[in-house]
Amino acid sequence: MADIQYLEGKQPHAKEHRLIFRNVDRVGWNPSIDKYLEEGGYNQLIKAVKMERAAITNEVKASGLRGRGGAGFPTGVKWTFIPPTNTKPVYLICNADESEPGTFKDRYILHQDPHQLIEGMAISSYAVGAKLAYIYVREEFPEAAKILERAIDEAHEKGFLGQGICGTDFELEIYVHRGAGAYICGEETGLIESLEGKRPYPRIKPPYFPAALGLWMSPTIVNNVESLCHVKHIMEMGGEAYAKLGTPRNTGTRILCVSGDVQKPGYFEVQVGKVTLGELINDMCGGLKPGRKLKAVIPGGSSAKVLRADETFKVKQGDEMVELKIEDIPMDFDTLAACGSMAGSGGVIIMDDSRSMAWVLNNINSFYAHESCGQCTPCREGSLWMKKITDRIVRGEGTPDDVDTLESVAYNIDGRTICAFGEACAWPTESFIAKFREELVGTTKAENRGKLANPESKLAAAGLD
């Protein structure tokens, strides 16, 4: 790939391994189909439609690909949950709602390489037997929606969509469907309700996967943008070769998005588990700001439990139990889970010692209070209570009991709701209290009453009502 040039200042880091982001920030690249075809675009679709459908699913299974949208569920396995006796139409939905705070990767695929996604979707649709597919794209990506629509038209003209694709009897239509600014539309059953034209109230489980019952009560495969793009590369490399990238059970590449208190925030496509959190922060992001020390990291989108900089984590490596410092954590699904958090959506938020944890938690709580869909009482009321309590702590009006109350509210949401938003909104509070209890309690002590938790928080406090 020596011939690929990237824009000044946007060159990939030496530790990156670019598959999905190969064309992102590339000199001379554009989202047209002509560009895409110049380098073998749609060849994998041409190959796929001549294969047995099950053979493609088997390649995806062999690749070990795990969903990049948040839960990390094996993609090939999910596809097999379509009931074998099914006679209803099957649908495929691309989840392009990208709204987990800290996550900014799908944006670049949609804007800069839409045909990669369309090819991945076409291959996946063929594999699962879908003739109708949707890209549910968040409303705040108006430009991406236009780019995708243009790309779909182009693919139609060239015979990669529509009837008789690549000279076979495979047919497929893909439509872009725009959301309307609600985070809960990223939850797959909320998304389906929204696509059906309703309020995006997540559905009661079981069934656990829309692959059993989804859009219009038909089997529906929902996958993240990045996951569907990987399918194209799995076709190209073969499942087994793809599985050699990354680490066992944590295969392939994934895009990590780093934001917050580092010198150079950004996106980095790495082999899963081949880069540690320390390398990510210190080498790839240029380290912390001058004179600052690391305080905390949220490793997988704002719903992931926070890690404290001075913690040690006991994890199993091979057959051995080892103790890891925060900077030694390899960024893969299993290790981050063993450290008590999750790889989630790949959004890594870094906080240095200038940050008040009360202020950070309050910002996160405000997000969830705003975004709860309101169906379940623990989530609807609890998310708002957590926000109100941290509001007053940040205002300097907290009482010493507040931290305990906050904790009890959080533990009464977790596990008692229809959808995983319940955990998503409780985990930040649970983990911030577990890791930073003293600091939080300190901000509520009488001698600190009336003083802001952090001078920089003044505006934040004023804006949250």
Ligand X SMILES: Cc1cc2nc3c(=O)[nH]c(=O)nc-3n(C[C@H](O)[C@H](O)[C@H](O)COP(=O)(O)O)c2cc1C
**Which residues contact ligand SF4 by CB under 6 A?**
184, 202, 372-376, 379-380, 417-419, 421-422
Q: Which residues does 19 contact at the CB level (< 8 Å), separation at least 6?
A: 230, 233, 252, 253, 269
Q: For residue 79, which of 210, 249, 237, 194 has the smallest C-alpha distance?
A: 210
| 73 counts as binding ligand X under rule CB under 6 A | yes
Give me the residue label for tokens 């609600």: 182
101 contributes a contact to another protein by CB under 8 A = yes
Task: Indicate which single residue of 16, 113, 188, 414 sits in contact with ligand X (rule: CB under 6 A).
Answer: 188
User: Shortest Cβ distance from residue 300 to ligand SF4 (Å)?
Assistant: 19
Selected binder of ligand X within 44, 57, 63, 95 (CB under 6 A): 95
Angle between helices 377-394 and 357-371 (to 10 degrees): 150
How many chain residues bind another protein (CB under 8 A)?
57
- One DSSP character per residue, 206-243 reads SSSSTTTS-GGGS-EEEEEHHHHHHHHHHHHH-HHHHH
59, 100, 119, 334: which one binds ligand X (CB under 6 A): 100
**CB of 408: closest distance to ligand X in angstroms?**
22
Q: What Rg value do the Cα atoms of the chain yield, rounded?
A: 23
Confirm or reject binding of residue 104 to ligand X (CB under 6 A): no
For residue 386, the surrounding DSSP H or E stretch is helix 377-394
By CB under 8 A, the residues from 270 to 299 that bind another protein are: none
Kindly state whether residue 419 participates in binding ligand X, applying the rule CB under 6 A: yes
> Which letter does DSSP use for residue 203 in this model?
P
User: For the residues of 35-86, what is the DSSP string, one character each?
Assistant: HHHHTTTTHHHHHHTTS-HHHHHHHHHHHT-B-SSSS--BHHHHHTTS-TT-
- Considering only residues 242 to 271 of the shown chain, the ones binding ligand X according to CB under 6 A are none
Q: Which is nearer to ligand SF4, 74 or 374 (CB)?
A: 374
Complex with ligand SF4: residue 22 or 380, whichever CB lies closer = 380
Question: Cβ distance 184 to 202 under 8 Å?
Answer: yes
For 214, the token pair is 């989804």
From ligand X, ligand SF4, another protein, none, which one binds at residue 372 (CB under 5 to 8 Å depending on kind)? ligand SF4
Residues 346-405 that bind another protein (CB under 8 A): 347, 349, 351, 355, 360, 363-364, 366-367, 370-371
C-alpha span between 16 and 275 (Å, rounded): 9
Which of ligand X, ligand SF4, another protein, none is residue 227 near (CB under 5 to 8 Å by kind)?
A: ligand X
Among 16, 59, 98, 279, binds ligand X (CB under 6 A): 98
Please state, in angstroms and rounded to a whole number, the distance separating the CA atoms of residues 206 and 160. Answer: 36
Question: Side chain identity at 417, as an amino acid letter?
Answer: T
Q: Does residue number 347 form part of the binding site for ligand X (CB under 6 A)?
A: no
**Neighbour count for residue 289 (Cβ, 10 Å):** 12
Q: How far is the CB of 32 from ligand X (least distance, A)?
A: 26
CB of 367 to ligand X, least distance (A): 11
The answer to whether 317 touches 323, Cβ cutoff 8 Å, is no
Selection from another protein, ligand X, ligand SF4, none that 380 binds (CB < 5 to 8 A by kind) is: ligand SF4
| 99 interacts with ligand X by CB under 6 A | yes
Among candidate residues 106, 117, 109, the one with its CA nearest the CA of residue 42: 117
Could you say which of ligand X, another protein, ligand SF4, none residue 366 binds, taking C-beta under 5 to 8 angstroms by partner kind? another protein
Number of C-beta neighbours around residue 32 at 10 A: 15
Asked, as a colleague might, if the bond just before 219 is cis with ω within 30 of 0, I would say no
x-marked contacts with ligand X along 210-239 as a string, rule CB under 6 A: ------------xxx--x------------
* Residue 89 to residues 81, 86, 173, 214, Cα–Cα distance (Å): 14, 8, 13, 11
Give the interface segment with another protein, choosing from 12-20, 221-229, 256-264, 437-445 (CB under 8 A): 256-264
Report the partner that residue 322 touches, choosing among ligand X, another protein, ligand SF4, none (CB closer than 5 to 8 A by kind).
Answer: none
Binding to another protein, residues 180-209 (CB under 8 A): 180-183, 194-200
Using rule CB under 6 A, residue 69 touches ligand X:
yes
The nearest distance, CB 329 to another protein, in angstroms, is 20
Report in angstroms the alpha-carbon separations of 283 from 140, 263, 279, 328. 32, 10, 5, 13
Q: Which residues contact 306 (CB under 8 A, 6 or more apart)?
A: 296, 297, 298, 341, 428, 431, 432, 435, 436
Q: Pick from ligand X, ligand SF4, another protein, none: which does 417 bind, CB < 5 to 8 A by kind?
A: ligand SF4
Q: In the complex, which residues of this chain contact ligand X (CB under 6 A)?
A: 67-71, 73, 75, 95, 97-100, 184, 186-188, 222-224, 227, 419-421, 424
Note the residues at the interface with another protein (CB under 8 A).
98-104, 106-107, 132, 138-143, 175, 177-183, 194-200, 216, 257-261, 265-267, 302, 347, 349, 351, 355, 360, 363-364, 366-367, 370-371, 459-460, 462-463, 465
